[in-house]
Structure 1
């Protein structure tokens, strides 16, 4: 690799890179609702026309940031899962590794975390283009649950929750089909796990637990372990995937 070329690239980012970098600063300073092309241009030392040449409308820029945030957070999880899997970790240890990776990403990128998991931006409706990136996070969790199921690592639920089928075909497809009893509602349980994870991260990133627990990282591990019980997966708080 030509290091001098790499340094030159870092020092002279492309207009798109510079715009996105300035926009991420805006997310932290004013939030997604306050994002404007004028503010991005000002923070990036660019003319508004330069920004508009790449992103004609604010929503175009928001969509790009949303996709980047989903992709970056999912990449962190995928890398953690790959490392844990290469180390021969159990499904429970893999789950702990990927949730920790998502937590670390969220704390390192609070503006982007808030963009995708915080309050909706008024008058902005994420287009279909964001769906593939948004699907990567649940896909990581689904892969771990599926692996645990196929490897005999899941404990059958104590009781089935009665009710009609609740799943859309896309959710079933993402998991690879509906398993047979006693795990026939494992996809619904996995979605509850996913919801609990995001809610827990919202609490921690927005400082809703700092005045209630002594060790927020340890509490995070504990909460993941409790949530994992609903799908019959054993997670040991404090466990290492190495």
Structure 2
């Protein structure tokens, strides 16, 4: 925590810059973000804001990190009240992502929508918060596997050597002993989950189709859990 008045003032200004950036993201879109506009709403001359944020890309990075952490907090809060069962917690995680994205469509779009032209997110700043939810997902898959809630396929999928190397890196990075078939299914679960969320948030169905989007999402979720090979413990 900042301990001096100057440090506290700087921290408050950075908080305000991110807040105003979120507001402009929602009204103008990521590609139209402007530090001049942020400075205007902050009540300072445009040159002053550059003492805190050096460029539009740095502002985008702040908003990306802020969005990933907000999503991670939403998931963590939902899981804290979920039953102690990895499959039910997977469902809770998925619904938390869906709920957050509907409440924060602009922030979801920044994280998982169309890339902003000319912007490359710095991995050292965005990967740790960006993998919070993925880490939780993989941990839940590992728990479901260890408690024999997931059926292995009758025939293991063919994993080309280049993919096998990546799968090994995933096991090492996340400290999880998952078989190739479950890593493959986990990737399909994650990308399909984001596809289902995006179809709703970006209204790919059309405004008059599927009025009960939560019920539709739960159907998607049932299919994804079945795809994992879920078998309830009896």
Instruction: Verify same fold: TM over 0.5.
Output: yes
Give the alignment partner of residue 42 of structure 1, picking from 40, 43, 47: 40
Residues of 1 paired with 2:213 and 2:51: CA distance?
Answer: 44
Report what 1:233 is aligned to.
230
How far residue 234 of structure 1 moved from its aligned partner, in angstroms, is 5.8
Report what 1:198 is aligned to.
194
Deviation readout 1:121-173 (Å, 9 max, x if unpaired): 11110012211111111111111111101111112224432231415244222
Residues of 2 paired with 1:148 and 1:225: CA distance?
Answer: 16
Correspondence 1:72-221 to 2 at 5 A = 72-84=70-82, 87-88=83-84, 90-128=85-123, 129-165=125-161, 166-167=163-164, 168=166, 169-179=168-178, 183-209=179-205, 210-221=207-218
Report what 1:5 is aligned to.
none
Which ranges of structure 1 fall in alignment gaps of 5 or more residues?
Answer: 1-8, 236-242
Residues of 2 paired with 1:45 and 1:173: CA distance?
Answer: 48
How far residue 33 of structure 1 moved from its aligned partner, in angstroms, is 0.6
Which ranges of structure 2 fall in alignment gaps of 5 or more residues?
Answer: 1-7
Identify if the C-alpha distance between structure 1 residues 113 and 102 changes in structure 2 by more than 3 Å, giving closer, same or farther: same
Q: Which piece of structure 1 moves more, 165-174 or 189-198?
A: 165-174
Deviation readout 1:202-223 (Å, 9 max, x if unpaired): 1111112353324100111110
Q: Which piece of structure 1 moves more, 129-138 or 154-163?
A: 154-163
Contact 2:18 2:63 in 1 (8 A): yes
The size of the alignment, in residue pairs, is 218
CA RMSD of aligned residues (A): 2.0
TM-score normalised by structure 1 residue count: 0.83
Residues of 2 paired with 1:234 and 1:54: CA distance?
Answer: 53
